[in-house]
């Protein structure tokens, strides 16, 4: 598990993860990873409420990588990812967006993480 505050380094970090996946696949190792990207702003009340919950999830789920994108600083990244409301959570596996949760929905967020983690373990 890793909890990052990303300011301009999101694309570099995702590229690094993509390269790790390619290397793992090339060597015959199954590389299953779930990345949760949290698009947030400093002025968003629900985002502030979710922050401690995400920190707790990050501690409990070491197999999940959590990335946080400050939309105020990275508006172009949010636009590229078609983020229209905060908080927005994008779920990535194998370098692709596989799911999305919009808004302050703790239960839906947890269920989506659980769903994709169980998909990973059943695929292994």
Active site residue 44: yes
Write down the catalytic residue from 33, 44, 51, 102.
44
CATH topology of domain 2-123: Glutaredoxin (3.40.30)
The whole-model pTM stands at: 0.73
Average pLDDT score, the chain: 79
Q: What is the pLDDT of residues 33-52, one digit of tens each?
A: 899 999 999 999 999 999 99
The DSSP symbol for 112 reads H
Q: What is the pLDDT of residues 7-27, one digit of tens each?
A: 344 454 555 555 555 555 444
pLDDT value at position 88? 97
Query: Mean pLDDT over residues 62-67, rounded?
Result: 89
Write down the catalytic residue from 47, 54, 69, 113.
47
pLDDT value at position 45? 95
Active site residue 81: no
Q: Would you kindly state where each structural domain of the chain is located, as residue ranges?
A: 2-123
Tokens describing residue 22: 């390619």
Please check whether residue 77 is in contact with residue 60, taking contact to mean a CB–CB distance below 8 angstroms. no
Query: Mean pLDDT over residues 99-124, rounded?
Result: 88
Residues above pLDDT 90, as percent of the chain? 48
pLDDT value at position 2? 42
Query: Mean pLDDT over residues 39-68, rounded?
Result: 92
């Amino acid at each position: 598990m890793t909890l990052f505050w990303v300011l301009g380094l999101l694309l570099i970090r995702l590229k690094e993860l993509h390269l790790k996946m390619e290397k793992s696949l090339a060597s015959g190792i199954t590389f299953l990873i779930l990345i949760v990207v949290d698009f947030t702003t400093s002025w968003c009340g629900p985002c502030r409420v979710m922050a401690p919950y995400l920190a707790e999830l990050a501690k409990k789920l070491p197999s999940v990588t959590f990335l946080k994108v400050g939309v105020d600083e990275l508006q172009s990244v949010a636009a590229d990812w078609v983020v229209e409301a905060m908080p927005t959570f994008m779920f990535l596996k194998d370098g692709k967006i596989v799911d999305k949760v919009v808004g302050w929905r703790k239960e839906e967020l947890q269920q989506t993480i659980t769903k994709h983690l169980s998909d990973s373990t059943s695929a292994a």
